[in-house]
Amino acid sequence: MREALAPEEEPVRPPRPLRVTIIAVLFCLLGISAIWEVAEGLTRNFYNFNFAVCLLPVGIGLWKGKRSSLGWAKFWIYLSYLSAAVGMIMALAIGGGGDLTFTWGDTVLHGSEALLFVIPFALGLLGALVTVHWLLKSPTSEEFFEWRLLASLRVSMERPLGKSEAESREPI
């Protein structure tokens, strides 16, 4: 039977990097905002499902350092890249014709006037997405998400084999 590791050999969780904390909080806030929007719509007998509600569990997982949440965060970032690109193409395609409408709060703009706000807004969103993606792919962030994987591998290696598994193995 294998012996337990000495305390100095136990995997130590690295501290959560500030960048991961900020991104996790951002994902949680976006998820809560989407949930609020859906709930508010339901109070007005309007059903509007917003896929951004999925960002809340991703944010919680990022906070906890779960590697699967890192994968989901990247998925949502890639999906947002695609949405921003399609939105820019559509804005450019219909912006010149005067059918484009940009609404921000109480301000409503139409046509080429709206295009002057849509393009910088989309470019700013794209810049924010690239920044978040870059921060999540950094070595500091990757190390934070790897510790859990390494810890689980170490625990599975320490577990003794069951009797039937041990008996079925051939000696080397």
Instruction: Note whether residue 169 is domain-resident.
Output: no
Specify if 10 maps to a domain.
no
Q: Distances in Å between the alpha carbon of 134 and those of 23, 128, 149, 155?
A: 11, 10, 21, 31
- Residue at 142 is within a domain: yes
- Is 26 within a domain? yes
Does residue 171 lie in a domain region?
no
Write out the residue range of the structural domain in which residue 138 sits: 17-159
Amino acid at 39: A
- Digit-by-digit pLDDT tens for the chain (172 residues) are 445 555 555 567 778 999 999 999 999 999 999 999 999 988 988 888 889 999 999 999 999 989 899 999 999 999 999 988 888 888 777 765 667 777 777 888 877 777 777 788 888 989 999 999 999 999 988 888 887 677 666 666 655 555 555 555 555 5
Count how many domains the chain has. 1
- Whether 154 and 21 have beta carbons less than 8 Å apart is answered as no
Whether the Cβ atoms of residue 57 and residue 31 lie closer than 8 Å to each other: yes
Whether residue 1 is contained in a domain is answered as no
Residue 133, pLDDT score: 94
Length of the chain: 172
Q: Does residue 152 fall inside a structural domain?
A: yes
Structural domain includes residue 168: no
Q: Given this model, what pLDDT does residue 113 score?
A: 77
